[in-house]
Structure 1
Amino acid sequence: LCENELGRYMKNQGKADKREETGRMMIALGRALLFSSHQRAAVRGPLLRFYQELQVFNDRAIFDCSQTVEAVERARLEYRGSLLWMKKTSEELDPDTDRQLEKFREAQSAVRINKDKLDKLKVDTLQKVVFTR
């Protein structure tokens, strides 16, 4: 707005100026300022919309990252619980009984699954943190 007004003022003053060369320069400067203000006004709307979209994207990315961090915490607890379960079953393990061996294998499988889940979520979290920087 200020740029537009200054452009009009310079253009009008250039027309009113008695010195021909100075008047032409003022008119040229006024036209340049008017053109610049029109260009800025044309770009302002889309640029504001872009910034709003970027803010929404950023907010959603941060929310998604926090959800992933919470999922990592839950997966870590599950993994630790399965490790404790495997430790307990290994302490009670008697190689002669099939039931205890089956229980130990089940615990091992749970540890493996929970470890894979935790590792995948860790990588996801790292990627999202790097992406949201």
Structure 2
Amino acid sequence: MKQIKPYHLLVNFLFAALPLSALAQQPPSLPPQQVGVITVKQQEVPIIVELPGRAVAYEKADIRPRVTGIVIDKLYKAGAEVKKGDPLFRLDDSSYQATVAADEATVAEAQANLPVKQSAYNRAKKLEGSGYTAADVDTAESEARFR
């Protein structure tokens, strides 16, 4: 048979007695705990959901110029409503003024040459058949009308 050493007995006794000693010592009694009471009733509760996101315009318009030029001023506010015909930009008009001046000079030159071209046509019409052909008359007429 196995011989049990005395310190083993002591350790076993302490472990066996420990639960009994824990039961023997009861904590001091505390007063009853105060609790709140609510009555539950059925009612509608709104469902609120917060989600991350971003706002996007429901209508989007790209602004593109119909003419060329240098933009001097923007005449609308971003996000503001614009209507058909509202001016959006002010352009530098110096290149347009130069084009108008050149076209006016061309018109003035054509008006100055009109009497000469008209008299050349009249002369070709009178001399048709005596040195002038129908093609010469048509050429003189077209120069008088379109130049």
Query: TM class, shorter-chain normalised?
Result: 0.3 to 0.5
Higher strand share: 2
Q: TM-score, normalised by structure 2?
A: 0.31
Q: Give 1 or 2: higher helix fraction.
A: 1
Larger C-alpha radius of gyration, 1 or 2?
2
